[in-house]
Structure 1
Amino acid sequence: MRGLAILLSFNLVGVGLKEWLHIPMPGNVIGLVLFTIALFAKLVKLEWVEASAQWLTKHMMLFFIPYIVGAMALIPMLGAQLFPIALSVVLGPLLVVAAVGFVTAKLEKPSGREEKLL
Structure 2
Amino acid sequence: MIGAFTGLLACQLAGEIVVRATGLPLPGPILGMLLLFLFLLWRGGEVPAPLAAVADGLLRHLGLLFVPAGVGVIAHLGLLAEALLPIALAVSIGTLVAIAFTGRLMQALARRFGDERR
Q: TM-score, normalised by structure 1?
A: 0.76
Per-residue deviation, residues 33-90 of structure 1 (Å, max 9, x unmatched): 1000001111785123100000111111112212221222221111111122223323
CA RMSD of aligned residues (A): 2.7
Runs of 4+ off more than 4 Å: 102-107
Which of these two proteins has the greater Rg computed from alpha carbons?
Answer: 1
User: 1:21 Cα shift?
Assistant: 2.8
Identity of matched residues, %: 29
Aligned residues: 112
The aligned counterpart of 2:72 is: 70
User: 1:96 Cα shift?
Assistant: 2.5
Q: TM-score, normalised by structure 2?
A: 0.76
Whole-angstrom distance in 1 between the partners of 2:9 and 2:63 = 18
Deviates further, 89-98 or 5-14: 89-98
Deviates further, 38-47 or 6-15: 38-47
The aligned counterpart of 2:31 is: 30
One-letter amino acid of the structure 1 residue matched with residue 5 of structure 2: L
